């Protein structure tokens, strides 16, 4: 009886293990975990840069607008494909957030599956000395790496923040290019595959995915470097013949800089000004912090350590960090951070060399187990190099005004998860020779970790559920940064909670006296409450700031004119509108307001002259046409 029970238990365990090693089960679990972690995101509203990049960005409002005069492509050529997906989203669902979130989640799931595929393919490469058929152990290894990638809460910003589809979609193409490259190299050893054209198809797919990545976001600049590193790490140093075949792939590295050069990008113009060609395009001017390239680099040493900390211990995540700028390398924080980074890079080099020596010693030995130390050391080394190389575009000397964002770790995180899984597996494989039940314990630990990380992702996404919860969380974590307070005030304003909005605006101005947008927003609250004189006072205060440019001054004078008109101060309104037109003479709106104020004050001749100037700027302007017709109908000569 006991023997039958034990036999049944063993049979059940074998059946269970066989099931959990099946790729189809892995795929279903990855998708299910992603759905659970992001099930509460479909009604998350547009936030932050979503407004300027999607909501108010006409070229992505449908395919017709995107394709008209190539407006969608010309806006940002290096991100053209990413913006095309927003146009497609709009075509089918307008500005309903659910459709955008559904696409973002699908991209995240597909990217996780590509992680799974790439790791499995890597185990079949010559340096890992695997057979053409991957083993159940390697499938489970790849599954663990993909699980960590799909459920980790640090990924939430790249998935839940709609406009950061640019990051997740680039990562999808990045991994697709590398996986297709691996498949091409594996199939190139098979003469039958080459004769059937299968190998060529994978090469073309890799090249296509590389170009699409380059046209989605600039972080893909490192992709040709990673392809070459992958070749050297897992296939060996390429010979002349192979390098000739690789040339088209490697030459894609010029796509991004050439495109930006042709557009006279700030990459060139701002080389000595701390320019920022990778910044989110709608970053307001008030957020700009003056940094040299050295300031940015020294700060990034600490930022990289923060990213590593968040990957290991994902708590206190923040949408808008109040991060200190390091002006010198000799301070303790950047110096210690640099030392840690150098230690990790030296560790990667050491692991690579040790793996090579182990391969040389075992060159004549039988094919090792899937988790032979030389294999795992090589995977760990590659993972560390991946992390730092893919992060280098945004964490080096190329100045970006916001020094830290969590979505920037989305692509590098694959290397982190690969390296950690390889090193932990190496440790467990050594423990297994001494202790029984290590494999069972490892499965339990992985399962528990995935559950915890998935819950943390779900909890983090709860913070994103609406404007107030997201920015209240950000203000709590960055209490001395003015931008989150200003944006939280905007949320309160749209909810009609004007006193709370004013409180946040005042605090923003206290933290940054030159905060133009906060003054504008305070004036808007006064306008809404019909407190026109108080609104004028806010605009006058704003005009006293030295940071104003001509466009901002024109806007302020126009608003002052509107408020004076509401108070019946026609002379002061005319003066204000005249100043707005002086600062921005091409503005149809400001000139129409000026003409209307003149007409209201009885100065019809000058009003008609201004309306005619409006029609010179915009011949189809209905308001000016109607105003001129009305004034002519009242017996005033048209003067034409």
pLDDT surpasses 50 at 274: no
- Weakest-pLDDT range from 34-43, 87-96, 445-454, 539-548: 539-548
For residues 230 and 490, give the distance between their C-alpha atoms in angstroms, rounded to a whole number. Answer: 48
pLDDT-derived band at 265, boundaries 50, 70, 90? very low
DSSP, collapsed to helix, strand or coil, labels residue 515 as: coil
- Over the stretch 174-212, which tens digit does the pLDDT of each residue have? 999 999 999 999 987 664 444 444 588 999 999 999 999
Q: How many helices (H) and strands (E) does the chain have?
A: 31, 0
Return the pLDDT at 639: 37
The answer to whether the CB of 352 falls within 8 A of the CB of 378 is yes
Contact 501, 492 (CB under 8 A): yes
pLDDT at 284 over 60: no
Alpha helices in 252-397 (DSSP H): 255-262, 266-269, 293-312, 332-361, 373-391
Q: State the DSSP code for 366.
A: P
Please state the rounded mean pLDDT for residues 336-342.
97
CA distance 564 to 580: 14
pLDDT band at 288 (very low <50, low <70, confident <90, very high): low
The C-alpha angle 598, 601, 606, rounded to 5 degrees, equals 30
Dist CA 212 CA 210 (whole Å): 5
The three-class DSSP label of residue 264 is coil
CB 410 within 8 A of CB 167: yes
Residue 485: how many CB atoms within 10 A of its CB?
26
pLDDT tens, 207-231? 999 999 999 999 999 999 999 999 9
| Over residues 516-534, mean pLDDT | 93
pLDDT-based confidence at 289, cuts 50/70/90? low
Q: What is the dihedral of CA 50, 55, 60, 65, to 10 degrees?
A: -160
pLDDT at 473: 97
How high is the pLDDT of residue 58? 93
Mean local confidence (pLDDT), 228-238: 93
Give the pLDDT confidence score for residue 159 in this predicted structure: 98
Find out whether 162 and 100 touch, Cβ atoms under 8 Å.
Answer: yes
Q: In whole numbers, what is the pLDDT of the chain averaged over residues?
A: 87
User: Residue 163: which H helix or E strand, with range?
Assistant: none
Q: Which residues contact 218 (CB under 8 A, 6 or more apart)?
A: 78, 79, 256, 277, 278, 393
Distance between CA 112 and CA 383 in Å, rounded?
Answer: 16
Full 3-state SS string of 17-83: HHHHCCHHHHHHHHHHHHHHHCCCCCCCCCCCCHHHHHHCCHHHCCHHHHHHHHHHHHHCHHHHHHH
Enumerate the CATH 1.25.40.10 domain ranges in the chain, comma separated.
467-633
- Closest among 157, 171, 165 to 100, alpha carbons compared: 165
Band of residue 269 on the pLDDT scale cut at 50, 70, 90: very low
CA proximity to 325, closest of 288, 342, 300: 300
Fold type of domain 467-633 = 1.25.40
- What does the pLDDT average to over 381-394? 97
């Amino acid at each position: 009886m006991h023997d039958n029970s034990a036999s049944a238990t063993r049979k059940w365990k074998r059946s269970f293990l066989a099931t959990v090693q099946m790729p189809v089960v892995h795929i279903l679990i990855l998708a299910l975990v992603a759905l659970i972690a992001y099930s509460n995101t479909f009604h998350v509203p547009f936030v932050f840069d979503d407004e300027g990049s999607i909501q108010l960005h006409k070229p992505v409002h449908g395919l017709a607008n995107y394709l008209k005069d190539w407006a969608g492509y010309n806006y940002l050529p290096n991100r053209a494909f990413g913006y095309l997906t927003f146009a497609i989203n709009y075509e089918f669902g307008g500005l309903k957030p659910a459709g955008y979130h559904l696409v973002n989640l699908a991209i995240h799931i597909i990217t996780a599956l590509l992680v799974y595929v790439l790791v499995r393919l890597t185990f079949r490469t010559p340096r890992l000395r695997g057979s053409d058929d991957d083993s159940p152990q390697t499938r489970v290894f790849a599954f663990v790496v993909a699980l960590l990638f799909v459920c980790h809460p640090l990924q939430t910003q790249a998935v839940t923040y709609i406009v950061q589809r640019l990051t997740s979609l680039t990562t999808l193409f990045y991994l697709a290019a590398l996986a297709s490259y691996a498949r091409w190299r594996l199939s190139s050893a098979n003469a039958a595959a080459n004769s059937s054209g299968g190998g060529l198809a994978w090469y073309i797919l890799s090249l296509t995915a590389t170009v699409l990545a380059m046209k989605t976001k600039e972080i893909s600049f490192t992709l040709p470097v990673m392809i070459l590193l992958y070749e050297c790490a897992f296939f060996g140093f390429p010979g002349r013949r192979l390098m000739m075949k690789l040339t088209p792939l490697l030459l894609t590295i010029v796509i991004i800089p050439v495109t930006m050069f042709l557009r006279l990008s700030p990459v060139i113009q701002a080389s000595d000004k701390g320019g920022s060609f990778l910044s989110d395009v709608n970053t307001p001017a008030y957020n700009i912090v003056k940094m040299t390239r050295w300031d940015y680099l020294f700060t990034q040493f600490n930022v990289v350590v923060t990213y590593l900390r968040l990957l290991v211990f994902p708590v206190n995540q923040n949408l808008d960090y109040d991060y200190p700028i390091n002006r010198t390398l000799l301070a303790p924080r950047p110096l210690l951070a640099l030392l840690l980074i150098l230690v990790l890079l030296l560790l990667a080099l050491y692991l690579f060399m040790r793996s090579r020596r182990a391969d040389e010693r075992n060159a004549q030995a039988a094919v090792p187990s899937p988790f032979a130390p030389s294999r795992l050391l090589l995977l760990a080394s590659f993972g560390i190099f991946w992390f730092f190389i893919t992060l280098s575009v945004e964490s080096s000397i190329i100045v970006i005004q916001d020094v830290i964002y969590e979505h920037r770790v989305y692509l590098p995180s694959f290397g982190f998860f690969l390296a950690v899984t390889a090193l932990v597996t190496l440790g467990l494989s050594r423990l297994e020779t001494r202790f029984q039940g290590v494999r069972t314990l490892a499965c339990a630990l992985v399962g528990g970790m995935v559950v915890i990380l998935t819950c943390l992702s779900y909890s983090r996404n709860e913070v994103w559920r609406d404007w107030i919860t997201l920015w209240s969380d950000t203000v709590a974590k960055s209490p001395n940064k003015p931008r989150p307070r200003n944006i939280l005030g905007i949320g309160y304003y749209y909810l009609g909670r004007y006193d709370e909005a004013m409180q946040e605006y005042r605090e923003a101005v206290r933290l940054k006296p030159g905060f133009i947008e906060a003054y504008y927003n305070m004036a808007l609250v006064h306008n809404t409450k019909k407190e026109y004189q108080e609104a004028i006072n806010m605009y006058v205060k704003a005009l006293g700031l030295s940071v104003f440019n001509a466009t901002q001054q024109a806007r302020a004078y126009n608003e002052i004119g509107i408020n004076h008109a509401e108070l019946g101060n026609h002379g002061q309104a005319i003066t204000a509108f005249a100043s707005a037109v002086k600062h921005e003479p091409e503005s149809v709106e400001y000139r129409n307001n000026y003409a209307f104020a003149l007409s209201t004050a009885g100065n019809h001749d000058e009003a008609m002259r201004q309306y005619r100037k409006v029609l010179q700027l915009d011949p189809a302007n209905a308001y000016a046409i109607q105003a001129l017709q009305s004034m002519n109908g009242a017996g005033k000569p048209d003067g034409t």
